[in-house]
Amino acid sequence: MKVTILQGSARKKGNTARVLTWVEAELENLGHKVDGIYLHPLNLKGCMGCGKCKEKTDTIGCIQKDDVPGVLEKMIDSQLVIFSSPLYFWGFSAQIKAVIDRTYSLYTNANMPDHASLVDGQRQALIATGAGGYDQNAEGMVDGFGRMQKYHKAINAGTLFINSCTTPDALDESVRQKAVEFARKIVS
């Protein structure tokens, strides 16, 4: 499988990145081709809500000229996309939220008989890390992610939330094991 990982934390060596290294290593071990995109240095504008993208069913159609269309092209070319983010104020980091909002340009006629999507049938997974627990903290993010697949006509391959994060070095063998098991699950 062609896999794209959207690294949504600014911290290149932070908690999210550490979990991703374990997931990526296992995916490669299983023979998958993994391409990671570190979003933070890219020029990522938010969606303008202009609706121009809805005029085209067969291309992205977004009129903004930043780095997001390139990220979306890589997504379209993948069988599995892993979205990742630190939990920021009960939601996604600004970097990955910009990309998520711009995936509005990947589909047309949502909830209509002619609903079309450029990522129809794609597997999508979420990996998030947070300082707190899951309850009353991460549900909103996970819930929102789960609703996105309906619009993308994609398959929710799974969610991994690593709670109680402090520093990457404190992420122990039990977390590594969760990451490895998650990698196996999202491709099967």
From the list 3, 4, 6, 9, which residue makes contact with ligand FMN (rule: CB under 6 A)?
A: 9
The residue whose two tokens read 């995936």 is 103
Please identify, among the stretches 8-16, 99-107, 116-124, 169-177, the one whose residues bind ligand FMN according to the rule CB under 6 A.
Answer: 8-16
- In 42-75, which positions are buried (b, 16+ CB within 10 angstroms) versus exposed (e)? eebeebeeeeebeeeeeebbbebeebbbebbeeb
Distance, C-alpha 3 to centroid of its chain: 11
Site for ligand FMN in 69-128 (CB under 6 A): 86-90
What residue number has its CB nearest to ligand FMN?
14
Instruction: Establish if 14 lies at the interface with ligand FMN (CB under 6 A).
Output: yes
Site for ligand FMN in 141-170 (CB under 6 A): 165
Instruction: Check if the beta carbon of residue 161 is closer than 8 Å to that of residue 134.
Output: yes
Q: How far is the CB of 101 from ligand FMN (least distance, A)?
A: 19
Q: How far is the CB of 93 from ligand FMN (least distance, A)?
A: 8
Q: How far is the CB of 78 from ligand FMN (least distance, A)?
A: 22
| Among candidate residues 170, 152, 154, 151, the one with its CA nearest the CA of residue 162 | 170
Q: How far is the CB of 88 from ligand FMN (least distance, A)?
A: 4
Terminal CA-to-CA distance of the chain, rounded, Å? 11
Secondary structure, 3-state, 39-78: CCCCCCCCCCCCCHHHHCCCCCCCCCCCCHHHHHHHHHCC
Total residues at the site for ligand FMN (CB under 6 A)?
17
- Of residues 14 and 46, the one with the C-beta less far from ligand FMN: 14
Question: DSSP string covering 111-152, please?
Answer: TSTT-EETTTT-EEEEEEE-SS-STTTTHHHHHHHHHHHHHH
- Of residues 154 and 162, the one with the C-beta less far from ligand FMN: 162
Instruction: Establish if 131 lies at the interface with ligand FMN (CB under 6 A).
Output: yes
Instruction: Establish if 11 lies at the interface with ligand FMN (CB under 6 A).
Output: yes
- Of residues 25 and 48, the one with the C-beta less far from ligand FMN: 25
* Residues of this chain that bind ligand FMN (CB under 6 A): 9, 11, 14-17, 86-90, 129-132, 137, 165
